[in-house]
């Protein structure tokens, strides 16, 4: 067998600089959102997250992202009505979910499996309608699957409720109060878009081949499912539960840091100051956890946060470790009655509006996304027959 020779240097790439993980590479221009990790700033379609998230409805935020301008009252009413009318799942999707529930698959797997069937009864040539159907139906999939896996019948969607109110209704079978609906609305708006994160990039890569919106959303769900992206807000909440009382906070956190463990819900690759989404979600939780045991949990979480920040400063000086979005996501969604396993699928329901907006933007560029790789394997020369 011929001795392998080192790979030839690439001659075709205009720039052969390799950036692992594409870090620092600007791969798209967007009007959808801007993340400034040094200033702790997140702008969504021209509005600070602190402004848009607690004040807009999810339908309003989605319309703004998809159309680049705010909807008039009439446009918003028509858009909301159309989405509401698309919520019911194709029969085949429900049958599929029943089969998946028998296998007890995780909710994110069920969402990935079912998402590809959501355009079954929609004209594929009408990608605008496919987009709306996807956005309207993802929460129906999550809620229906959750109930099926728990041995309950799915609750049919109601067209007279808003997107957020209907999601909570389909999960529980009861109409949520106005504060809970506002909490869900604020959550979905807060995470609706966040620059060129992994799932958004995946969606843009798929749609850039002039594939279709369903494929792009299924691919994005696949990317979000990974623990490095969809995150694990669950452990942040579990930590607060394990701590249990204010007196236990410092010894618990100190022991964790002494063992070299990480405090969940703190630190971020991009944000080196407080994640603005943590602020928005913290305020939403504050408004929702008004009395009794719920208020006690909120106050304990605030206390744990302050202790954790002080200890992180002591143990990791100069690292600027601040509260991230996961900490208050966990608290808020728990307060809305959602179990931990529903956190990432709920994130997907909100982020889907951003994925679709990015796909629309990418399609408008008409440009295929096709980076290069650098070959680092051997070069064997002649193909010798195996002896």
DSSP state of 153: P
Residue 80: count of CB within 10 angstroms of its CB? 20
The mark string for 211-250 relative to ligand COA (x by CB under 6 A, - otherwise) is: --------------------x-------------------
Stretch that binds ligand COA, among 56-64, 146-154, 316-324, 347-355 (CB under 6 A): 316-324
Residue 19 C-beta-side C-alpha neighbours within 13 Å: 9
> Which C-beta is closer to ligand COA: that of 210 or that of 258?
258
Q: State the burial class of residue 109 (Cβ atoms within 10 Å of its Cβ: 0-12, 13-18, 19+).
A: middle
Instruction: Return the bridge partners of 379, or none.
Output: 5
Rule CB under 6 A: is residue 313 a binding residue for ligand COA?
no
Whether the CB-CB separation of 263 and 312 falls below 8 Å is answered with yes
| Member of 132, 182, 268, 302 binding ligand COA (CB under 6 A) | 268
Rule CB under 6 A: is residue 304 a binding residue for ligand COA?
no
- Closest-CB residue for ligand COA? 267
Active site residue 326: yes
Of 387, 384, 276, 294, residue with least CA distance to 336 = 294
> What is d(CA 153, CA 386) in angstroms, rounded to the nearest whole number?
60
Whether the CB-CB separation of 127 and 213 falls below 8 Å is answered with yes
Rule CB under 6 A: is residue 266 a binding residue for ligand COA?
yes
> Which C-beta is closer to ligand COA: that of 87 or that of 307?
307
| Nearest distance, CB of residue 366 and ligand COA, angstroms | 34
| Member of 171, 300, 325, 353 binding ligand COA (CB under 6 A) | 325
Rule CB under 6 A: is residue 191 a binding residue for ligand COA?
no
Instruction: Return the bridge partners of 323, or none.
Output: 266
| Nearest distance, CB of residue 374 and ligand COA, angstroms | 24
Q: Find the catalytic residue in 326, 334, 358, 361.
A: 326
Active site residue 175: no
Rule CB under 6 A: is residue 282 a binding residue for ligand COA?
no
> What is d(CA 135, CA 130) in angstroms, rounded to the nearest whole number?
9
Instruction: List, by residue number, the catalytic residues.
Output: 268, 326
């Amino acid at each position: 067998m011929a001795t392998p020779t080192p790979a030839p240097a690439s001659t075709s790439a205009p720039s052969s600089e390799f950036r692992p993980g594409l870090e620092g590479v600007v791969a798209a221009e967007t009007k959808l959102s801007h993340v400034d990790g040094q200033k702790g700033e997140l702008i969504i379609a021209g509005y600070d997250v602190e402004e848009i998230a607690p004040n807009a409805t999810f339908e309003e935020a989605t319309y703004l992202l998809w159309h680049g301008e705010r909807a008039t009252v009439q446009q918003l009413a028509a858009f909301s009505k159309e989405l509401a009318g698309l919520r019911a799942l194709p029969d085949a999707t429900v049958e599929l979910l029943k089969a998946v529930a028998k296998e007890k698959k995780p909710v994110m797997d069920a969402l990935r499996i079912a998402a590809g069937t959501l355009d079954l009864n929609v004209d594929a040539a009408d990608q605008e309608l496919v987009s709306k159907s996807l956005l309207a139906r993802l929460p129906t999939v999550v809620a229906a699957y959750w109930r099926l896996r728990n041995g309950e019948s799915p609750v049919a969607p109601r067209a007279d409720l808003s997107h957020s109110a209907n999601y909570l209704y389909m999960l529980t079978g009861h109409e949520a109060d106005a504060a809970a609906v506002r909490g869900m609305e604020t959550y979905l708006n807060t995470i609706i878009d966040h620059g060129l994160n992994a799932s958004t990039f995946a969606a843009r890569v798929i749609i850039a081949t002039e594939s279709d919106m369903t494929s792009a959303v299924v691919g994005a769900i696949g990317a979000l499912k990974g623990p490095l992206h969809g995150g694990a807000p669950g452990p942040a909440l579990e930590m607060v539960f394990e701590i249990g009382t204010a007196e236990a906070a410092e010894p618990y956190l100190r022991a964790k840091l002494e063992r070299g463990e990480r405090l969940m819900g703190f630190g971020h690759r991009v944000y080196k100051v407080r994640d603005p989404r943590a602020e928005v979600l913290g305020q939403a939780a504050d408004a929702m956890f008004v009395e009794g045991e719920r208020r006690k949990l909120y106050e304990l979480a605030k206390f744990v946060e302050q202790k954790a920040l002080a200890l992180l400063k002591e143990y990791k000086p100069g690292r600027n470790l601040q509260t991230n979005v996961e900490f208050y996501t966990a608290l808020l969604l728990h307060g809305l009655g959602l179990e931990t396993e529903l956190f990432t699928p709920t994130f997907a329901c909100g982020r889907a509006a951003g994925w679709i907006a990015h796909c629309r933007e990418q399609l408008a560029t008409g440009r295929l996304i096709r980076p290069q790789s650098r070959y680092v394997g051997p070069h064997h020369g002649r193909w010798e027959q195996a002896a």
